[in-house]
């Protein structure tokens, strides 16, 4: 399918200096003093408003993003990005009501638009992603701030720069997003 790539620009509307990226990039400031627009040529990426994949994050698929701030409703610019690999297998994630896999546990194999409605679970504070790549959202119906979860154990979301957030819906990043 060719390589994935995204081009970041210092200014809005694809102006100013640019930098092309096709992998994880922990600190963009060594190449661009700021980043206010980008163009995803191929693939899917998460962008973050803090270095080292921290802070607010936003999911990008192929397309043009002429004004990062209006797109994300954020005051800051893109400081790091992560490439989301194409995945065609099954999906499985366990979500837990409390930190360190405590409280109620539920296993998901598909999208969940409202954990409160489906599981009577008022919060999700840790999770274990067994298979696939997922997006978690702070509001039902895949709205509000989001967090990218790749396979692994996540015992405490607050140390990912996401303290005090509730996660109320989850969806799979499927191969038809690419």
Q: Over the stretch 96-147, which tens digit does the pLDDT of each residue have?
A: 999 999 999 999 999 999 999 999 998 899 999 999 999 999 999 999 889 9
170: domain CATH number is: 2.60.20.10
- Residue 13: how many other CB atoms lie within 10 Å: 11
Q: Any idea what DSSP says for residue 141?
A: T
pLDDT of residue 75: 61
Q: Looking at the 3D structure of the chain, how many domains does it have?
A: 2
* Three-state secondary structure of 68-110: HHHHHCCCCCCCEEEEECCCCCCCEEEEEEEHHHEEEEEEECC
pLDDT tens-digit map of 76-100: 788 999 999 989 999 999 999 999 9
Q: Are residues 167 and 110 in the same domain?
A: yes
Q: Are residues 47 and 113 in the same domain?
A: no
pLDDT tens-digit map of 145-163: 899 999 999 998 877 766 6
Q: Are residues 123 and 62 in the same domain?
A: no
Q: Which of 53, 84, 115 is the last residue of a domain?
A: 84
d(CA 65, CA 109): 31
Q: Are residues 123 and 162 in the same domain?
A: yes
Q: Is the pLDDT of residue 72 over 70?
A: no
Q: Which of 62, 84, 106 is the last residue of a domain?
A: 84
CA-based nearest residue to 49, from 78, 28, 14, 91: 78
Q: Are residues 102 and 169 in the same domain?
A: yes
Q: Are residues 104 and 173 in the same domain?
A: yes
Q: Are residues 43 and 103 in the same domain?
A: no
Q: Which of 84, 107, 137 is the last residue of a domain?
A: 84
pLDDT of residue 74: 60
Classified as helix, coil or strand, 59 is strand
Predicted TM-score (pTM) of this structure: 0.88
pLDDT tens-digit map of 25-71: 999 988 898 888 999 999 999 999 889 998 889 999 999 999 877 66
Q: Is the pLDDT of residue 2 over 60?
A: no
Residue 64 is part of which domain span? 5-84
pLDDT of residue 60: 93
Q: Are residues 13 and 78 in the same domain?
A: yes
Q: Are residues 10 and 60 in the same domain?
A: yes
Tokens in use for 72?
């994300």
């Amino acid at each position: 399918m060719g390589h994935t790539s995204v081009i970041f620009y210092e200014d809005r509307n694809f102006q100013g200096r640019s930098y092309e990226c096709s992998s994880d990039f922990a600190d963009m400031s060594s190449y661009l003093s700021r980043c206010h627009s980008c163009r995803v040529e191929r693939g899917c990426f998460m962008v973050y408003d803090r270095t080292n994949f921290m802070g607010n994050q936003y999911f990008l698929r192929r397309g043009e993003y002429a004004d990062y701030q209006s797109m994300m409703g954020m005051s800051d610019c893109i400081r790091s990005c992560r490439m989301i690999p194409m995945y065609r297998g099954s999906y499985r994630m366990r979500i837990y009501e409390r930190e360190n896999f405590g409280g109620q546990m539920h296993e998901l194999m598909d999208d969940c638009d409202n954990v409160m409605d489906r599981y009577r679970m008022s919060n999700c504070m840790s999770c274990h992603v067994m298979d696939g790549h997922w997006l978690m959202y702070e509001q039902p119906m895949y709205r509000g701030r989001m967090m990218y979860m790749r396979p692994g154990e996540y015992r405490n979301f607050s140390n990912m720069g996401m303290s005090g957030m509730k996660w109320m819906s989850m969806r799979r990043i499927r191969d038809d997003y690419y």
